[in-house]
Amino acid sequence: MLNKLIKDLIDKGAVTLKEQGYSIRSSEYALLTWKQFQEFCNKKGYETYLPSHKDEFITELGKCTPPLRQSTIDRKAGSMKMLDLLATKGTWGKGMLNPLQELLPEFNSFLDAQEEYLIKTGYSECTRETMRNYISVVMRYFQNAGITKLEELNSSHVSAYLLTLRGHAKSTVRCELSRLRKFLSYLYLLGYTSENLAPHVPEYRLGQAQSIIKIWESEEINAVLETVNRASPKGKRDYAFITIAAELGVRSKDICNLKLSDIDWELCSISFVQSKTGKPNTLPLSEKVGSAIIDYLHIRPQTKCEYLFVSLNPPYGKMKSIHSAFHRYVARSGVKVPIHAHHGLHSLRATVATKLLSADVSPDIIFSFLGHSDRESLGHYIRLDIENLRECALSFEDGDLL
């Protein structure tokens, strides 16, 4: 038995909400739910907390008249999970509130073996992290499907997983299939399966028409930025990271990884180690970028987190992704994007490269500015600079070079 008085537990919960920096609104909602729980327990004659009391309370919420919306029940269940963790663990945190399913020991063993193999073959930390996160998701799917040993996997399991990709964008499906193929190949290569299941994953070619990248005009980028509500904390943060991407062409992963210490205000520069290549890069801090960052820093939550961009909800940890926010602003802006054109944050990097090429900036300078690991990477952006390519085209008449 936990032996914790419900009243004392709620009092401790109120203190914990304040210590973790929850907003007044969020704190009031949690405390209201706990008060409802306390009244429920008083009617039942419960004085000390038990997890079963929490479950009973949540069940009763589903029987209210008039009925509560499911979203309301889910939110109250989340508040009760905080109280439950406080009683059983002494505190709660974001990872504790939404824990990922634990993988079986053999599955974790494979992830470690793959990590070791990728390090030996020279893959960057960013690529290794992406592969590990993706494969963890796939293995949780197989685990939920009843797979307890990787050797049990067969083509029917692969086919069943492929069906879960229905409805995704074609470019997403192609990426998912490529990663799945690598995962299955590594399973066989590292001795976890006796059959290579990779050939059971079909090829998926988008074709040239669906492989284009949106190159933004300046007025289009301004239109997207104008949709950001800079009067709100979220808007100030989002405006800052979009401006960094649009002005400097920094990869989204590197924007998320930027630390407060990476900004040198005296030298007006941003210095960071690139996640994809592992190489350092230093970029100029223009007035536009600097102003956007300063505007955000004025409302940035007080937190010990070293990263520049943090979540605006407790416990104010590092932002993991900024892609979805950008897509929402693009949709609101009314900017017309060609069908099948890639128009995520990475398209801003391509736009910066293309504009530099159009301005006759030396490829060597662009190479250094974008932080590419090899000069061949610029070839992709050169292909995008259609207007300049047309000027370089050779003309023929009657088979003779003019």
Query: What are the catalytic residues?
Result: 251, 276, 346, 349, 372, 381
As a whole number of angstroms, the distance between CA 307 and CA 369 comes to 22
Helix, strand and coil in the chain, % to nearest 5:
60, 5, 35
**Token reading at 109:** 């063993």
- DSSP-assigned beta bridge partners for residue 284: 269
The helix (H) or strand (E) run that includes residue 55 is helix 51-61
Nearest to 292 by CA among 346, 255, 323: 255
Q: How many CB atoms lie within 10 A of CB 37?
A: 26
Phi and psi, residue 264, nearest 5°: -105, 100
The amino acid present at 156, given as its one-letter code, is S
Q: Could you tell me where the beta strands, DSSP code E, fall in 204-318?
A: 263-264, 269-273, 280-284
Largest Cα–Cα distance in the chain?
99
Nearest to 49 by CA among 7, 5, 85: 5
User: Alpha carbon of 343 to those of 38, 105, 209, 252: distances in Å?
Assistant: 50, 40, 14, 13
The residue whose two tokens read 């909400």 is: 17
